[in-house]
Chains A and B, each alone.
Chain A
């Protein structure tokens, strides 16, 4: 049958190629872009200190609540993974329900409830059809205020996490990210250790430890609920106050302000390569970088433009070079991880094993070029417009709006900074880009992590003389 198809096509082809003349031959002139309608944010505070931030969005009968309690994995202390584990335990039994009954009830309501922790806080999010808001909030209040932390469930989740940690060793990207953080951030810095814990810290987890962590981090005065969707402020206030109004802290709580001072990252004296051996790997996973920069630094907008141009969009230099010109990878890019305690600047790609050294050459070429020469005006203009004009698309769904607000709240930035965004981005000049590249990208003192087949890639990397090479077993 497929042969017949081929014959049919050849008969028709001449006719099909006849009329190829009338296409509009130049790209259309576009109308002026729409301006962003920054959603109106309404706020209230409960007497116990819990803060409510509400954006009514009535297009879809859906409500999204993201409750964040300041604290998070920065408070892990001597047990890495404690915050994420405690957050994970919140919905493993709460109120009068065990873990299964709770999961069943949430799903029966058509809701989804997620608990997690990041470096900065514990997050409980609920997404629910409007008509089930009340009963779903009852469950959410149980999870936040009355978690069971039963010994049996803690042990169950602890053992599961231990098994998952074993599986993680098979994931080259996970191995690379852990090695990268442990290298860029020194001992004593919170990011040095895995947010998901390691086998030693996980083995030490028990019910008492989890309860203690809960008691010292969870407090209404540290809590913000961002509510987006088919609701009004009055409604939110009524529904939340009825369930969270009696929330009192168990005792004095730790906050990010009271975080133990962390060891500041020490710049590398010279670039150092850490090669994590993964025999027979088909690709090498590459991470290159160093500690990053504070979100509140006035250079923030110039850094965003610079990074987008370097490795933050499809047309960026790293993608164009390593993927579209050389064909070394499926994707290459770079990012600055902005956190209240600054995260890292990282350039990354998964590359074919036999071009691991050639890929490093191209990475370093681009890291130097953006410092050494001024960006082409067309390239710069495109990059700025890409950042500025796509902003409206970041406010479409309840989840996106909640995410945008959460990010501003994390850095205590005013909502009006959204209105300033376009102007600040468009004001960045080629000189600004070069200046921030020189200030915040240091190719001579980066950590280079390569997870790959050492036997095949080590000699080639050494020939580049990037700096000392340290061979590690995973």
Chain B
């Protein structure tokens, strides 16, 4: 699934409930007011950046810290380490020893969590506005003073927890094996996205206390972090609290990352996985573009037109007309350095994956040839825009989004810019991005019931 990070604790996927502004095509209404999420930004001498957004509607506050380090920064033999490290950030620091972090926050009515993706690791605390000084103090203590109380017993314990997280999400999950197979088929060896965020069991076993110290000193420095505080607070007071708690944390070394050479998938690749599943499922993945590329929005619209709604092309065809699939899902997963487009469909009983693949291929080709109707395009835009209004209701979602926009674009308040980018996509853009990215080489993974490899899609075309 798109950018779904590993969490310290089970967390439901955020629901992107619909609520959008209809385009003027049918109802000549005035253009909606642009979305603004006002903020003030401050940079401390040690390089720490602070972004504050005041929202006084409810007496709550969220502190969201993003460290600009993710699984993409891991070294060979240590996959899964960034996420394991995330777990260790909750294991106590010099002045707030384990298990004070959770206990102090709970006593203040606040909840917290962290998550890791390919590109970043983030941490939040959310609670009544009165808890803000505690949130900031705890974040400061683990940013500056994590190592004095770190030991290998803590590493061993969280290694076990993370392995359990992996079992729950991969080994014991139907179709979970795909997660391990996919990155290596989509990215060349050594590419930061060529391994999974959760990592391999062997690499998790290999992680050491020395690795933890190295990683902390290199990446968990104020100059590699951004704090967003959003909620019922005064920006000036937040600024002064942040300076009190964080100013003495020394700047870390400048981080330089190797240039990642551009690449293309040379040819289609096929894999067949036998799993304890009743129904076979086929995954298609294409190499596309990073999140800031202008084509990212067009690809997002393509995914909607294919599978975003009940009347989307592939959903309608596979699930409701031909009734040969139980579901079909597509998404553009634009990350910081690069991106991919994923599509998967599950066959109904009695149907094989080549049957599904033929329809998928034909519908994508057809959309490339004919383009979407205006109505189809408008539906996609209106529906996709809906997420923005919903995000504005929650200080936590706003705080996370301000951080994401700042990291990826340099401007925290890019809400309206992202809407504008979606609105600008034309029918011709849709055709062009399909031709450019989705008619070329792809990876195809078939997951079939054990002993039923004949249900898979194989090289050499999808002859039945």
Instruction: Mark A residues whose CB is within 8 Å of B.
Output: 1-2, 5-6, 8-9, 11-13, 15-28, 30-37, 57, 59-62, 99-101, 103-104, 106-112, 127-129, 131-132, 135, 156, 159-160, 163-164, 166-167, 169-172, 278, 280-283, 313-315, 320, 323-325, 327-331, 350-352, 381-383, 385-386, 388-393, 395-399
* B contact residues around A397 at 8 Å (CB): 390, 393-394
Residues of A within 8 A of B258 (CB): 1-2, 5
Contact A30 B127 (CB under 8 A): no
Whether, in the assembled complex, B417 has its beta carbon less than 8 Å from a beta carbon of chain A, the answer is no
B382 x A18 contact (CB < 8 A): no
Chain B proximity of A263: nearest CB distance (Å): 32
Kindly list chain B residues whose C-beta atoms are within 8 Å of the C-beta of A19. 248, 250
- CB-defined A-B contacts under 8 Å, sample of 5: A23-B249, A24-B244, A103-B311, A110-B382, A111-B386
B279 on interface, CB distance cutoff 8 Å: yes
Instruction: Answer whether A59 and B109 are a contact pair too, CB < 8 Å, given A24-B137, A163-B279.
Output: no
Complex interface: chain A residues within 8 A of B107 (CB):
381-382, 385-386
Q: How far is the CA of A127 from the CA of B138 in the complex (A)?
A: 37
Q: Give the docked Cα–Cα distance between A425 and B265 (Å).
A: 59
- The answer on a CB contact under 8 Å between A127 and B390 is yes
Further 7 A-B residue pairs, CB within 8 A, beyond A30-B131, A103-B309, A320-B99? A104-B309, A107-B311, A110-B20, A112-B18, A129-B32, A327-B157, A385-B107
Bound-complex Cα distance A59 to B141 (A): 35
Cα distance A10–B422 in the bound complex, in angstroms: 45
Residues of B near any A CB (own CB < 8 A)? 9-10, 17-22, 26-27, 29, 32, 55, 57-60, 75, 94-96, 99-100, 102-104, 106-112, 126-131, 133-134, 137-138, 140-141, 144-145, 156-157, 160-161, 163-165, 167-168, 171-172, 174, 214, 217-218, 221, 232, 244-245, 247-259, 276-279, 308-311, 316, 319-320, 323, 326, 346, 348-349, 375, 378-379, 382-383, 385-386, 389-390, 392-395
Q: What residues on B are CB-neighbors of A111 within 8 Å?
A: 18-20, 386
Q: Determine if A385 and B95 form an interchain contact, defined as CB atoms under 8 angstroms apart.
A: no
Instruction: Indicate if the CB atoms of A167 and B59 lie closer than 8 Å.
Output: no
Residue contact B18 to A393, C-beta cutoff 8 Å: no
- Are B394 and A23 neighbours in the complex by a CB distance under 8 Å? no
**Which A residues touch B277, using CB under 8 A?**
167, 170
**Which residue of the partner chain, among B108, B164, B257, contacts A389 with CB atoms under 8 Å?**
B108
A16 is contacted by which of B140, B244, B250 (Cβ under 8 Å)? B250
List, in ascending order, chain A residues with CB within 8 A of B157's CB: 324-325, 327
Are B19 and A112 touching (Cβ within 8 A)? yes
Residues of B within 8 A of A170 (CB): 174, 276-278
Find out whether the CB atom of A283 lies under 8 angstroms from the CB atom of B144.
no
In the complex, the answer to whether B103 meets A315 with C-beta atoms within 8 Å is: yes
Give the residue name and chain of the B residue nearest to A19 (CB).
Answer: B250
Number of A-B residue pairs having CB atoms within 8 Å of each other in the complex: 304
Closest B residue to A35 using CB positions: B59
B245 near A24 with CB under 8 A, answer yes
Give CA–CA (A399, B258) in the complex, Å.
Answer: 45
Tell me whether A350 and B164 are in contact in the complex, defined as CB-CB below 8 angstroms, given that A108-B22, A110-B386, A127-B390 are known contacts: yes
Task: Point out the residue from A135, A156, A166 that lies within 8 Å of B349, measured CB to CB.
Answer: A166
A25 to B378 alpha-carbon distance, docked (Å): 56
| Distance A327 CA – B346 CA, assembled complex (angstroms) | 35
Q: How far is the CB of A298 from chain B (nearest CB, A)?
A: 24
A16/B221 contact (C-beta < 8 A), A314-B106, A315-B103, A385-B107 known: yes
Q: Contact between A23 and B248 (Cβ–Cβ < 8 Å)?
A: yes
**What is the chain A residue whose CB lies nearest that of B159?**
A327
Choice from B59, B253, B348, B349 contacting A34 with Cβ under 8 Å: B59
Please, how many angstroms separate the alpha-carbon atoms of A23 and B218 in the complex?
Answer: 20
* Contact A30/B379 with A330-B161, A399-B17 known, Cβ cut-off 8 Å: no
Which residues in A have their C-beta under 8 angstroms from that of B18?
106-107, 110-112, 127-128
> Contacts A12-B253, A163-B348, A382-B106; is A34 near B130 (CB within 8 Å)?
yes
Cβ-neighbour of A28 out of B134, B168, B252 (below 8 A): B134
Which residues in A have their C-beta under 8 angstroms from that of B95? 23-27
How many Å from the CB of B257 to the closest CB on chain A? Answer: 8
CA distance A135 to B326 in the complex (A): 31
Would A104 and B346 be within 8 Å (CB), given that A20-B144, A390-B127 are in contact?
Answer: no
Of listed A101, A109, A135, residue having the most chain B CB within 10 A = A109
B58 touches A23 (CB 8 A): no
**What is the distance, in angstroms, from B149's C-beta to the closest C-beta of chain A?**
13
Contact A23 B134 (CB under 8 A): no
* Partner among A27, A159, A324 whose Cβ is within 8 Å of the Cβ of B134: A27
- In the assembled complex, the Cα of A385 lies from the Cα of B131 at a distance in Å of 12
Complex: how many Å from CA A383 to CA B105? 11
- With beta carbons under 8 angstroms apart, the residue of A33, A99, A320, A398 that contacts B393 is A398
Query: Which residue from A103, A167, A398 sits with its C-beta under 8 Å from B326?
Result: A167
Give bound CA distance, A270 to B160, whole Å.
34
Q: In the complex, which residue of chain B has the Cβ closest to the Cβ of A63?
A: B19
Question: With A and B bound together, what is the CA distance between A109 and B256 in angstroms?
Answer: 46
Q: Quick check: A23 and B141 within 8 Å, CB to CB?
A: yes
In the complex, what residues of B have CB within 8 A of residue A389's CB?
108-110, 127-128, 130-131
Closest B residue by C-beta to A451: B172
The residue that B310 contacts in the complex, of A22, A27, A100, with Cβ under 8 A, is A100
